[in-house]
Structure 1
């Protein structure tokens, strides 16, 4: 898809009659630009129009043919949506000047091509141009649609291939110029694959994992990147609270997002305290100036019921305001007996643009989740290998119907302000308040019941848990961006300050040695409720000062960044009346160099550092120092000119120091180190405007390189070294199958170790996914905008173990899940 921007009578500068007349003249010059003699402008446009481009556009509806032309040429096309409705294009193939190619696309439709400037044109039906002059003298035109292949780092991605990102630089930067690997999952890709969580969205990304306990904990987005977990989650650059498997984490519905971006490797230089593996940043949908209306209803496996809506556009009778209102309501069971999930979410937002270069956006969302979960770690014997009684059923429920429960209420209120003082200097300021109140009750199975050395493979031991937490985050970020040119050297520099305050109130109720349960004939209703075992009130604050410069000279791009953080941590163990406080001051930095070849290749090399405060004390009662991380990365990115494709290949060497390690006497030492080396390949492309391809492969060698026990040199548990995936979808534009889309995917995860001692491994697995879609408007113009999208995860319903974290902690992967959504855009 391409971004569409409606041109209305809103003026850029000035007000009243003068502004409206100016806008009208500008619009007329766009429509008739190929006719009016603008001398130098015309010559420049003529030169651009005559440069040959390789086109592969089959015969198809004219609207989709224009989409293909925009993607393959990079041109901007203006036209009335009514003008092209119902018309067919004969297509165009070969190395042809864009101007000629566009004329061939509209041949026989009664539409004329008007070249408006370098790389832009208008489609017009001159006798049908409606121009009227009201009493106030303003010229009012019929609505015109401007389609462009342009992309904003904070906006929608045209199709599945992103070319820009703000996560890696805090600026709207081309991905090819960022000297670190970044995976961008666009809203179109999320829709294609039917991802219903951010965890699902990143499944086809290189170096990213969401298996094992992460696949079982459906209420949280636990993600591993480059061998490290948990991966910090951010929403529009703001840290989301997380305290691990104890809950307290918001979960962002992917329907709320334009894109999900995974920055791999240390990210402290821009965001402060973080684990060295990387981070995930989610980019919210924002108000649009083009009217957008979508409603969705859906059904599927496990009694799924789904509804969503998304409305956006200018506020009626207002020139300066636009809005967006998004919502989701869903209810579904899961592949585990008796479990279910429910969600209601609304997200109103508002943008105010009082003048060119000034914009204030208020972003909010409010969400309530509830249901009956089952965390369900299961023994190695009975899942990976058969017990004497066979395998445990993958739909087995190990909890209690009257106990297992999940409830979460989350709120996000924030704003984003941007102001351009000039073409060179701009200000960006944002702030968010995030609140999460949740309660998570479940049973953890703990191996088979053993009596006098005899194991009963029909009965599982259980422990009861009740986690309750209230988490609050306030964060603000302000930076100045300066663009300047000194001779042949260009600078894109930012300097900023950010502040983060995080409060965690936690209650933990534990019921060790609870009633066992039969796996062959479970009887529910007999259990002991847990008692309070932990209560704390923790606070973390961070004040950071950062600076970065992206320096361009000829084809070289040098990225330099540094940051100084003051991080304060207060831990209040209210049950044991213990309070600790500590302040850490850390400097982190990044340096990267990229070379841009004319053919779209961009080799790069970078070095980056990170830090993360760590709670607790060593054997001498000294507070733990922050863990630190360093990464060397080399790679090459490829963005072929004139093609809708992006490919990246990277190799890295990553270390984390100051990792706590315990000796044989149980004494803690902060001398541990984890060493990760890996290679990642990722490619996304749309070929011939019909075939979407997503491919990823990674090798991760993660080792305990320094420890105080006998695990030194062992592989890190829970981290499969090899993974690969491939997704392809073909969309038919012509012929008897016009409007049909067929997609299929395969995911492979290699075998990994299930404990630190490397005493056992869980096996590799391969699963298949699928997609079918149909655009009803391809056959009947009256049904334009109606789309049926059907997705299947684990199509063949394979029983597999997605990972083990200890001998009695193995987790089944998700069974076959089918979802069907009917989307209507109008």
Structure 2
């Protein structure tokens, strides 16, 4: 064992090739051929460095080849100056300054409002090309707080993005890109100064002073987690999105804090730092967190197998509710969480930020993006940070992290795009354990008390490397091929491991232990999406195949000599031996393969009646070989499972802004337990019904979902009453309830995101009759959240804003036996921020009342109940240039 590596694991392409060829030559060959046949001829024939219409700003990677070809008609544009005198020299005509841009959804499309400090703009005539409409506005210059660019993604239903750029010194270009067709769009101007005065240019070489703001973005109309770019309003299941602006406004640094804004999601703890965050959705534990559609560390969705995720490189967080095996394979029936990474930008973007706060918190961060080639066909983006903070418990090791995530996007030709992404994270942190239950509650001890040793630490290392290749055969059909390599390792030093709590004496039974684990995943995905019609009926077809090969290893060393610690009067200072002197406890290596095949069709039966139907087939195998030690002998076990999982949904749009829907879907996860006869248990099966209503308000600026669901999970492994050392698949759990989520902008500058859930989760079958009817652990019957901000829109205080938030979590049970309870809690957060030119200053106050509460529980009476953070202050200053 030893310390985890402090530098990225070097990925040997030949080794990866050999591994994949060993387990499936056909798949690897097919993927290689697909890349080579599309990319290599274009690469060999391309003229690297050739610039055509170099000042045209690419609105998005979604612009199709026909669009780009038609728009690129302005050759040899002059370099745009960023100085006032430069602009005047380039254009003899007095230009109108655009000082602010707002995007407003309309009934049929979108309206782009250009705010001017003085003067007006004649509405230009639209021009169309492919799936975009663009407007060239003469005698205009951009004077925006973020520089010479404006880009907002998914601002309205059917709109992929809106881009506004300085095409050259004499005109501004507005590009509106549709998702499936040319969008309905218009451009108007509005005087932002109610009392305009004459302005005379300064003779000096001063930078342009800018005012204005960007369009509100608490509302995201589309989500990639659905498998297609279908608007959320038209999907027959519940989807919530946490955009980047909420992450920024709440100064979030952990995914778990962002998910406080979503109904029905509960945090389950971090498994003593080994495997990162665990979550429950609608009461079912082990809901996976995926990154850009890729599962991590196996396909069974088990809890405790996903690392802490960094939010600095995230564009948004998506939550898909209900059984979702149709697209993601073996999964718990509550739902899943999809993290969407930032993508490279076509125009230069640079942002630096410094956060600092309570407990010596410091977090410098950067985000750089732009073109790498003169023709704009190769783009880059890189995010990086360092973080250091003392935890509120009495540990000597701070929580320290290094993170870097570069991405390259290459437009190979007009029909083909390649994206290559890398991510590396290394953290050293305290090996935190929770507190035990005492009687009917948790131990009444100070929040900073620990039951291990102050010097206990764990090191985590994560590496992700992959590509996504997209080829558009025509405007209606697209092929996507993707690969992702993931490596996640953790390594404990010697720690005081709590094994049991003796309530009668108050003593914690501890042993000295060490553990390390290495996990690797190799995932391939290939799918095709197409749009076609059969008569008057329109179809959006999605068909795909995915393959995962997993390799993991875990080994432990334990000295079982008792080291007692009194919970209520602790004395620390254990002398720890060298790690290699601990007795070998044993371990295991596990390898596995899984295949998934799926087919889904979204059918527009009528203009306002849509049917979604699909089915998936999964087959997986797993082999585990024991590493001999004091707890294990040599030996091995195998697991094989397969399942069909359907999904069907119906949605009826009463109006363009109001939808009613109903859906039914299934899920499965393999059981790893065995029967007394040595047979593997049948896979766990889940199914659920959902009915709901979705609506847009205020011209699409505000969006709300109200849903009722009823989910059942069967074949849960429970103790065999006749052979207690073995299991039978007779357990059943049920969860049903209502959820409400709303997000968006109520008035100009006033944004909101809020949620409420009322859920009843219970055990409906078990081999132990005493727990039938018990509540699912960690699940509150009632929970609610609210976050709202207001930013002053004009006047001397323009850019000054305030935020206020609340979170309520009701009583919860600590385990399935319902032997102890976790109390309810109510916390309050607040923020004040100020934006000026390219600067942003913010100060956030979290848990203002310094409420002492239990945030998470892992379902046992042992050391698995964790306090939430105390009162915390975080300040930040950021600059975009």
Length-normalised TM-score, structure 1: 0.82
Which of 866, 872, 877 in structure 2 is aligned with 1:811?
866
- 2:750 aligns with 691
- 1:786 aligns with 839
Shift of 1:72: 10
Which of 662, 676, 689 in structure 1 is aligned with 2:719?
662
Shift of 1:62: 6.2
- 2:169 aligns with 142
Secondary structure of 1:429's partner? Answer: strand
Note the 1:642-681 alignment, pairs <5 A. Answer: 642-664=699-721, 666=724, 667-681=726-740
- 1:346 aligns with 404
The superposition leaves residues 270-290 of structure 1 with CA deviations (integer Å, 9 ceiling, x where unpaired) of 111111111111111111112
- 1:231 aligns with 287
Contact 2:613 2:648 (C-alpha < 8 Å) held by counterparts: yes
Secondary structure of 2:258's partner? Answer: helix
- 2:590 aligns with 538
Note the 1:705-744 alignment, pairs <5 A. Answer: 705-709=764-768, 710-744=770-804
Counterparts of 1:284 and 1:144, CA distance in 2: 33
Shift of 1:265: 1.0
Note the 1:595-610 alignment, pairs <5 A. Answer: 595-610=652-667
Note the 1:22-421 alignment, pairs <5 A. Answer: 22-24=73-75, 63-64=99-100, 66-67=101-102, 69=104, 75=110, 77=112, 106=116, 108-109=118-119, 111-116=121-126, 121=135, 123-125=137-139, 141-142=168-169, 159-168=217-226, 170-210=227-267, 213-214=269-270, 220-241=276-297, 249-338=306-395, 339-380=397-438, 384=442, 391-402=444-455, 404-421=456-473
Contact 1:151 1:163 (C-alpha < 8 Å) held by counterparts: no
- 1:99 aligns with none
Note the 1:464-475 alignment, pairs <5 A. Answer: 464-475=512-523
- 1:824 aligns with 879
Q: How many residues align?
A: 731
Shift of 1:622: 1.6
The superposition leaves residues 123-176 of structure 1 with CA deviations (integer Å, 9 ceiling, x where unpaired) of 5436999xxxxxxxxx983397656786979xx9961111001212x1111111
Shift of 1:800: 1.4
Counterparts of 2:762 and 2:58, CA distance in 1: 62
Counterparts of 1:610 and 1:407, CA distance in 2: 34
In structure 2, the CA distance between the partners of 1:742 and 1:481, relative to structure 1 (3 Å rule), is same
The superposition leaves residues 170-197 of structure 1 with CA deviations (integer Å, 9 ceiling, x where unpaired) of 1111111221111111111111111111
Contact 2:648 2:665 (C-alpha < 8 Å) held by counterparts: yes
Contact 1:248 1:469 (C-alpha < 8 Å) held by counterparts: no
Unaligned runs of 5+ in 1: 28-60, 78-101, 130-138, 386-390, 778-783
Note the 1:420-459 alignment, pairs <5 A. Answer: 420-440=472-492, 442-445=495-498, 455-457=504-506, 459=507
Counterparts of 1:63 and 1:335, CA distance in 2: 45
Contact 1:24 1:140 (C-alpha < 8 Å) held by counterparts: no
Shift of 1:500: 1.0
Shift of 1:788: 1.2
Secondary structure of 1:642's partner? Answer: coil
The superposition leaves residues 709-752 of structure 1 with CA deviations (integer Å, 9 ceiling, x where unpaired) of 12112112222221111111111122343211111111111101
In structure 2, the CA distance between the partners of 1:614 and 1:447, relative to structure 1 (3 Å rule), is closer
Shift of 1:470: 0.4
Counterparts of 2:534 and 2:108, CA distance in 1: 32
Contact 2:77 2:168 (C-alpha < 8 Å) held by counterparts: no
Shift of 1:522: 3.8
Secondary structure of 2:73's partner? Answer: helix
Contact 2:463 2:487 (C-alpha < 8 Å) held by counterparts: yes
Contact 1:226 1:700 (C-alpha < 8 Å) held by counterparts: yes
Counterparts of 1:223 and 1:601, CA distance in 2: 31
Contact 1:113 1:124 (C-alpha < 8 Å) held by counterparts: no
Contact 2:464 2:485 (C-alpha < 8 Å) held by counterparts: yes
In structure 2, the CA distance between the partners of 1:318 and 1:712, relative to structure 1 (3 Å rule), is same
Shift of 1:360: 0.5
Shift of 1:7: 2.9
In structure 2, the CA distance between the partners of 1:481 and 1:687, relative to structure 1 (3 Å rule), is same
Note the 1:588-627 alignment, pairs <5 A. Answer: 588-627=645-684
Contact 2:136 2:174 (C-alpha < 8 Å) held by counterparts: no
Counterparts of 1:244 and 1:8, CA distance in 2: 42
Structural RMSD (CA): 3.4
Counterparts of 2:610 and 2:339, CA distance in 1: 26
Counterparts of 1:520 and 1:128, CA distance in 2: 65
Secondary structure of 1:597's partner? Answer: strand
Contact 2:393 2:450 (C-alpha < 8 Å) held by counterparts: yes
